[in-house]
Structure 1
Amino acid sequence: MRKRYTNLDDVDTHKTLREMIRWQKERSENKKDLRVVIEQAPSKETEKLSINRSETSITWIGHSTFLIQINGLNILTDPVWAKRMGFQNRLTEPGISLKELPAIDVVFISHGHYDHLDFATIRRLKGNPTYFVPVGLSSKFKIRGYKKVIEAEWFDSFVLECMTFTFVPAQHWTKRTLTDTNTSHWGGWIIESEHHAIYFVGDTGYFRGFQEIAKRFTIDTVLIPIGAYEPEWFMKESHLTPEDAVKGFLEVAATTFIPMHYGAYHLADDTGPEAIERLEAEWNKLQLDEDRLKKLLIGETLWI
């Protein structure tokens, strides 16, 4: 029997057929205007990124995909350049084309959902990266010929080029076929150099794991999802609302908040602009320092 993975406190994310039908009925009655999209950065630093091996940078490609340059390494998170997701076209072009990417050293995968793991993209990456993946997922890489694949359980740590990478919990689920529900795990990755720690949250609902992670790590920058939360009665176990994303950020006690997982694909009933509006409203309501919130445009680079 194949092992099935679970969440902290055995939180159940399963939805019934009746709940699915209710959601689809609500969606048909409440269609959103998808013409307003997240803007592309007016200028992109692809030439500088292509040769950078000394400065720390974070570039938002779109959705949950970032190019992170740190300690001389080129890192990608959940690389997805797919033009479609299911029956939906991508709403925005990726911030940097695959051709413009530098050679990649490391790829982090948060979980196996198609909007986070796209083998058509992976086949086109430059370089010969090492893939860090959740436990249960390496077979999908190895069957395709990838040999540099490292599986991780929650709180497993790895050292590479004076960096430490740790797989940490998230509250989610995964599925790629009719029979493989939760046969691989899900989580986030903490990327630590001597000078900076980045927490790539992956995909998650609000959970006590943020408090557990804060006890173990000192985080500088959090890349945290704010989209695919509506309808909340259906999505709340698996996806953060913008308000819960802020709550998780404060519990992690990080310095900088970079939102992600919005605007590229229409996965739920919220839109990218709606997610950003709610995030800004919560930030202002709590009177948080505006300099700690970095809302990157697509293709924009934050230099640390």
Structure 2
Amino acid sequence: MKLYENKNGAPIRPKFGDLRRWRKERRSKTKDLSFRVPRTEFDRTAWEAEAPPAKLVWIGHSTFLLRLGGLSVLTDPVWADRMAFEKRLTPPGIALDRLPPIDVVLLSHGHYDHLDFPTLRRLPGDPLHLVPEGLAGLFRRKGFNRVRELAWWESERTSGLTFTFVPAQHWTRRSPWDMNRSHWGGWIVEGEEEAADVPTVYFAGDSGYFDGFAEIGGTFPRIDVALMPIGAYEPEWFMSPQHVTPEEAVQAFRDVGAATFVPMHYGAFRLADDTPKEALDRLYAAWSASGLAAERLVVPMLGETVPLLRGSVPTDGAVSPPAPVLTQRSGR
């Protein structure tokens, strides 16, 4: 059976000794987990309104509901109350029974905080599941027949949208017997060239920092919105091959060349030693130091409907686009 790797040979099998060292370090740390990501009531009426035609809602962790080209697209759907022995820190931004019918589900990889079959079974509609190479067989064994698996740089086109699976630096495992038996990556979602109301969205999935971000930006030079992970980075000596720090996320955003940064992968589950507040504080500090325009960083509340526009990508990092991609407040 095929084993999957990172493009640059980055380590993909966490060592038992390193894991034991991390667990020992963790016992000596005291962390304040009282911060809760701000939230608002999901407005189903605003979501279903024709204008604006493109929009997103952050549901939590790496789960976004996107409205693009008339389709409802869901990324890494996870409504689980717990992850391993840890209780979810904040409820999802939309209750599962309030979701609109889903047309497409995008999966970045097989880790449990990104692939939750109990959630997938409860989704409304009859979605097409786009998954990394190596996962289709598992989906079919679980009873999902509308599934298409893609290798890096392969694309699937449906109803006017093109979904391209792009590299990430990570790894995956769901059992002791399936280490890296499927791949991992992110997704680029594009509309027709003439579809002025469909922005290009990059969903990065999980990744350590690597030269693939620049490669993605070079291949897709008009990315409007980048959904970038910022959490689960501490301790950095252990997590860096698989998760970017907030500072690395800002650099990855610059490498990709997108117009607007939307953070994710924080606030829902305690997967490492950093806290949601620490991740956000470091993101804000890194953004301030970067010279990037403040309006290019958008931090949605859970459940908030955020309009998306197709806009120009700035050529100068310190200058905001003439038509901001996300017409929504940023900052704390």
TM-score, reference length from structure 2: 0.89
- From 124, 127, 145, the equivalent of 1:126 is 124
Q: Show CA shifts across 1:63-107 (max 9, x none).
A: 000000011000000000000000000000000001110000000
- For the pair 1:22 / 2:26, whether they are aligned, the reply is no
User: What whole-Å deviation, never above 9, does each CA across 1:152-190 have from its counterpart, x for those lacking one?
Assistant: 000001111111110000000000010100000000000
Alignment of 1:183-262 (within 5 A): 183-193=181-191, 194-195=195-196, 196-217=199-220, 218-262=222-266
Does structure 1 residue 85 correspond to structure 2 residue 89? no
Which of 265, 288, 296 is the equivalent residue of 2:269?
265
Distance 1:251 1:232, change over 3 A: same
The one-letter code matched in structure 1 to 2:212 is G
Query: Once the 2 structures are TM-superposed, how far is the Cα of residue 53 of structure 1 from its aligned partner?
Result: 8.6
- Aligned twin of 1:60: 58
Identity of aligned residues (%): 50
Within a 5 Å distance, the mapping from 1:148-187 to structure 2 comes to 148-187=146-185
Q: Is the 8 A contact 1:50 1:100 kept in 2?
A: no
Distance 1:51 1:99 in 2: 19
| Partner residue, 2:35 | 36
User: Partners of 1:28 and 1:50 in 2: how far apart?
Assistant: 47
> What's the CA shift string for 1:29-77, capped at 9, x where partnerless?
0021111121112x43223324659710011000000000011000000
Corresponding letter in the other structure for 1:3: K
Query: Partner of 1:284 in structure 2?
Result: 288
Q: Is the 8 A contact 1:108 1:132 kept in 2?
A: yes
Q: Which amino acid aligns with 2:167?
A: P
139-148 or 82-91: which moved more?
Answer: 139-148
Contact 1:152–1:167 (8 Å) recurs in 2: yes
Cα distance in 2 for partners of 1:91, 1:100 equals 20
Amino acid at match of 1:24: R
Q: Is the 8 A contact 1:49 1:102 kept in 2?
A: no
Q: What is the Cα-based RMSD across aligned positions, in Å?
A: 1.2
Q: Secondary structure of 1:21's partner?
A: helix
In the aligned structure 1, how far is the partner of 2:272 from the partner of 2:129? Answer: 28
Equivalent pair of 1:39/1:298 in contact (CA under 8 Å): yes
How far did 1:214 drift?
1.1
The answer on whether the counterparts of 1:224 and 1:258 sit within 8 Å (CA) in structure 2 is: yes
CA distance in 2, matches of 1:262, 1:8: 26
Q: 1:188-230: per-residue Cα shift (whole Å, max 9, x none)?
A: 0000013310000000000000111111102110000000000
Counterparts of 1:255 and 1:132, CA distance in 2:
25
Instruction: Return the alpha-carbon distance in structure 2 between the equivalents of residues 21 and 208 of structure 1.
Output: 30
Partner amino acid for 1:37?
R
The match for 1:46 is 44
Which sections of structure 1, spanning at least 5 residues, go unmatched? Answer: none
Contact 2:203 2:226 in 1 (8 A): yes
Please name the residue that 2:321 is paired with. Answer: none
Q: Which amino acid aligns with 1:216?
A: T
Answer whether contact 1:54 1:70 (CA < 8 A) is retained.
no
Aligned length: 302
Q: 2:253 and 2:55 mapped to 1: Cα distance?
A: 20
| Cα 1:121/1:254, change in 2 over 3 Å | same
Question: 2:179 & 2:86 partners in 1: Cα distance?
Answer: 22
Residue by residue, what CA displacement relative to the aligned partner does 1:125-150 show, whole Å, maximum 9, x if unpaired? Answer: 00000000000001111012211100
- Distance in 2 separating the partners of 1:36 and 1:54: 32
Deviation at 1:288, TM superposition (A): 1.3
Residue 201 of structure 1 aligns with an amino acid whose one-letter code is A
1:106 counterpart residue number:
104
- Report the 3-state secondary structure (helix = DSSP H, G, I; strand = E; otherwise coil) of the residue aligned with 2:134: coil
Higher mean C-alpha deviation, range 107-116 or range 157-166: 157-166
Normalising by the residue count of structure 1, what TM-score does the alignment of the two structures yield? 0.97
